[in-house]
Structure 1
Amino acid sequence: MPKSPAALADPQTHPLPRPPRLLWLLGPALVAGVAYLDPGNVASNMTAGAQYGYLLVWVVVAGNTMAWLIQYLSAKLGIVTGKSLPQILGERLRSRRVRLAYWVQAELVAMATDLAEVIGGAVALNLLFDLPLLVGGLITGSVSMVMLAVQSRRGPRAFEFVIMSLLVIIAVGFSVGVFLAPPDASGVASGLIPRFEDANSVLLAASILGATIMPHAIYAHSALSRDRFAVRAAGLTTQRLLTVTRWDVSIAMVIAGSVNLAILLLAAANLAGVPGTDSLEGAHQALETSLGVVVATLFAVGLLASGLASTSVGAYAGAEIMQGLLHIRIPLLTRRVISLIPALAILGLGFDPTTSLVLSQVVLSFGIPFALIPLVVLTARSSVLGSFANRWQTTAAGVIASILLVTLNGVLLVLVFTGAA
């Protein structure tokens, strides 16, 4: 006999599905947070610690604080609207020429990001197995294609598990040395006082921030949150999702900030004044001399995991940028093959990996205003987010962070192109 509507509504006879637990909802920020641990970050933090000791500790802390706000705003945009930042921009930019120009700069940023990450993976494989850089780049690209296939066929949750597993390897690989050779506590405390020594320290500070807050992480996080929460589970309100997202972003930024700080402190405590540490290869050799083969090997393993994880997220962001701005969808794996070509060409032609990493950070500096400013503007508008639009305090913090980041990235460009550092 069929049950009456009253019986169906009775939780005793037909219980409603339970909302997902907190742990199940975590993940998008941890994936996007991998962008904060890419080879560009490793190079910038290692060089800063080796050349200036604890001087720029405050830059890492400040960058991580701003990153929390920026990544939360990106995730909120994706959750509330059900659209990514590139999608919304593609709808609001009416002129096809403007959309095309916007896509070109965003695509160049995605390519520069991919370049740094593939090179980082290639350098790591060279350090671990003495493989030629071109072969290392091919292996890095091939493994990232497998990871993207997981995302395409098994969904965002499986992709998150793969990335988070690599995140654990990254954290261990870059942090072990700090526990074996702890930094000086008074030196760390003095590094929390904002200051510079010379033009080169300003350049390194801008490089740290440029490698930390990257455009593709902003684009990607809104898409990751959209994909993950496209279907609302029973009892899962938008407010609940935003609460969980704040936890997600906090956990991701604590991990990323701690690892970046560990890299700088490792170099400050053990590599200060050691020549050659302005390259990944030189830093690896210095670590081996100072702390032994085990620490140096773990550093190289962490670098490899960093390259593999971040290049996969970068390819995901690039596909979203194209689809959102141009309304053109290319299969993710096809795009991965295309985006590998510039990186492999640079490795094949024998360009210096460290110089290529520096140039990639310069390109990223061009792209940050085009991602950050629209994000702050859109999340402040009730016409876009309704009742979830930013409070004035949040908008003010976003504006201040935008001004600081755009200014420092401008300083980075001036110092690089004028050779002032």
Structure 2
Amino acid sequence: MVSIADRLRERAGLLGPAFVAAIAYVDPGNVATNTQAGAKYGYLLVWVVAAANAMAGLVQYLSAKVGLVTGRSLPELLRERLPRGTRVLYWAQAELVAVATDLAEVLGGAIALSILFGLPLLLGGIITGAVSTALLAVQNRAGQSRFERVITGLLLVIAVGFVAGLFVAPPEPAKVLEGLVPRFDGVDSLVLAAGMLGATVMPHVVYLHSALARDRFGADKGKLGVTKADVGLAMVLAGTVNLAMVLLAATALGGHTDASSLDGVHTAVGDALGAGVALLFAVGLLASGLASTSVGCYAGAVVMEGLLRKRVPLLARRVATLLPAIVVLALGADPTKALVASQVVLSFGIPFALVPLVVLTAKRTVMGDAVNRPGTTAVAGLIAGVVIALNVALAILTT
């Protein structure tokens, strides 16, 4: 007779793909935008984190569902339906998103290495790129399951790094609840909210998760139940970390004039909460940069192979997406400002991933009896509409 403990271990062994995708929701771009939101606006934008995480949960489940039901990734399904010229243009925008993603993640790793070891940012960026390449080699040589375990371990390190400060400076529950009421405070808060959304509902993992689920389980609708649990647990963890970033900044960084940069945030955390919490913050930031840049590069490879049927060697792919970040560091640009700008770029790439996902999962000819229920399609369509409307408003208000 199989014990409950054995069943739990068996089910736990099926978890993993969503935790790899969840790394994208706690990358250095999230750290930059969330800490700026908390430091500048206090609890005002807590609702953005909550809403974005709820959106991301549904989106990631639909992406995994596509892979499990059809046995193909979202980019592969798009390739089958787009004419060649459109397909190339579509790949070009997805590649731009991948570059913006890598920019944020490499910069975050470089800043963390500078904080921890005093390394020059340029050297830190090169080291971040090298280590992320080694992490990708785990996936290439040891298989997806080993890669999932490594990334999940890093996700737990990230969680500890950013949640620890809340035990030293707990937020005020009444203000947290007040922050759940949707509102803005001028154009700057809208720009920051768009960056937070771009850092949370990230387009590259919308493409990637379909491949992760497919590669782990094949075309197996029977795994939809465990996939729901996988996505739910992963997004609860990622959402908790994102919320912790905002609340930590709101409680400990308000009034700090130097909290607009990640190294300034680290200094302010140390001043307010002590060296131990600041060290955990820096370690969490480093783990975030290393893990997320490897996942981002993996996603770029999935998109290129799916849309163009082209495989690029790992090292060549890594160098191509790493170069823009290295150039930014070499030119001496403000890394935190570049981080936040990259998240706004990401937010403009979201509709190109979301709209096809909603349309395809609503088609019975694609999904069979696993087609979305009308209510699911309506909610997913609303999510896409909100994202597009926010981006249009952002473009109007900032020009």
Give the TM-score band, short-chain normalised.
over 0.9
How far did residue 19 of structure 1 move? 12
Please, which of 11, 20, 25 is the counterpart of residue 36 of structure 1?
Answer: 25
- Do 1:149 and 1:333's aligned partners in 2 also have CA atoms closer than 8 Å? no
- Do 1:207 and 1:412's aligned partners in 2 also have CA atoms closer than 8 Å? no
Please, which of 181, 188, 201 is the counterpart of residue 193 of structure 1?
Answer: 181
Give aligned pairs, total: 393
Counting only pairs closer than 5 Å after superposition, residues 344-383 of structure 1 correspond to structure 2 as 344-383=326-365
Range with bigger deviation, 204-213 or 247-256: 204-213
How far did residue 333 of structure 1 move? 3.2
Please, which of 95, 100, 107 is the counterpart of residue 95 of structure 2?
Answer: 107
- Do 1:58 and 1:192's aligned partners in 2 also have CA atoms closer than 8 Å? yes
Alignment partners' CA distance in 1, 2:233 and 2:85:
40
Please, which of 12, 18, 30 is the counterpart of residue 23 of structure 1?
Answer: 12
Query: Which structure carries more helix by proportion?
Result: 2
Please, which of 64, 73, 78 is the counterpart of residue 84 of structure 1?
Answer: 73
Provide TM-score, normalisation by structure 1.
0.91
Please, which of 147, 157, 161 is the counterpart of residue 169 of structure 1?
Answer: 157
Q: 1:331 to 1:197 in 2, by over 3 A?
A: same
Provide the residue aligned with 1:306 in structure 2: 288
Please, which of 94, 98, 104 is the counterpart of residue 116 of structure 1?
Answer: 104
Provide TM-score, normalisation by structure 2.
0.96
- Do 2:194 and 2:344's aligned partners in 1 also have CA atoms closer than 8 Å? no
Alignment partners' CA distance in 2, 1:275 and 1:398:
39
Range with bigger deviation, 339-348 or 199-208: 199-208
CA-to-partner distance for each residue in 1:71-96, whole Å, 9 max, x for gaps?
00000001111111111101111x22
Alignment partners' CA distance in 2, 1:65 and 1:397:
11
Percent of aligned positions that are identical:
61
Alignment partners' CA distance in 2, 1:358 and 1:204:
8
- Do 1:174 and 1:302's aligned partners in 2 also have CA atoms closer than 8 Å? yes
Alignment partners' CA distance in 2, 1:355 and 1:83:
37
Alignment partners' CA distance in 1, 2:330 and 2:13:
43
- Structure 1 counterpart SS, 2:333: coil
Unaligned 5+ segments in structure 1 are 1-17
Paired residue type of 1:308: L
Please, which of 38, 41, 49 is the counterpart of residue 52 of structure 1?
Answer: 41
Alignment partners' CA distance in 1, 2:185 and 2:108:
29
CA-to-partner distance for each residue in 1:355-398, whole Å, 9 max, x for gaps?
21122123212211110000000001011110001000000000
Provide the residue aligned with 1:319 in structure 2: 301
Please, which of 113, 122, 127 is the counterpart of residue 115 of structure 2?
Answer: 127
CA-to-partner distance for each residue in 1:303-351, whole Å, 9 max, x for gaps?
0000011101100000011111111111233311221111111111211
Provide the residue aligned with 2:259 in structure 1: 277
Provide the residue aligned with 2:392 in structure 1: 410
- Do 2:42 and 2:250's aligned partners in 1 also have CA atoms closer than 8 Å? yes
- Structure 2 counterpart SS, 1:333: helix
Alignment partners' CA distance in 2, 1:63 and 1:345:
31
Alignment partners' CA distance in 2, 1:414 and 1:357:
22
Paired residue type of 1:200: D
CA-to-partner distance for each residue in 1:91-147, whole Å, 9 max, x for gaps?
111x22111111100000001100100000000000111100110011101111111
How far did residue 204 of structure 1 move? 1.8
CA-to-partner distance for each residue in 1:47-84, whole Å, 9 max, x for gaps?
11111111111111111111110000000001111111
Unaligned 5+ segments in structure 2 are 1-6
Range with bigger deviation, 248-257 or 280-289: 280-289
Matched, 1:183 2:171: yes
Paired residue type of 2:156: V
Please, which of 93, 117, 128 is the counterpart of residue 140 of structure 1?
Answer: 128
Paired residue type of 2:315: L
How far did residue 197 of structure 1 move? 2.2
How far did residue 273 of structure 1 move? 2.2
Paired residue type of 2:243: L
Paired residue type of 1:383: T
Alignment partners' CA distance in 1, 2:263 and 2:21:
27
Alignment partners' CA distance in 2, 1:45 and 1:342:
24
Alignment partners' CA distance in 2, 1:245 and 1:40:
26
- Structure 2 counterpart SS, 1:21: helix
Q: 1:387 to 1:356 in 2, by over 3 A?
A: same
Provide the residue aligned with 1:342 in structure 2: 324
* Structure number with larger C-alpha Rg: 1
Matched, 1:157 2:145: yes
Please, which of 200, 206, 220 is the counterpart of residue 208 of structure 2?
Answer: 220
Provide the residue aligned with 2:55 in structure 1: 66
Alignment partners' CA distance in 1, 2:121 and 2:257:
23
Alignment partners' CA distance in 2, 1:36 and 1:19:
26
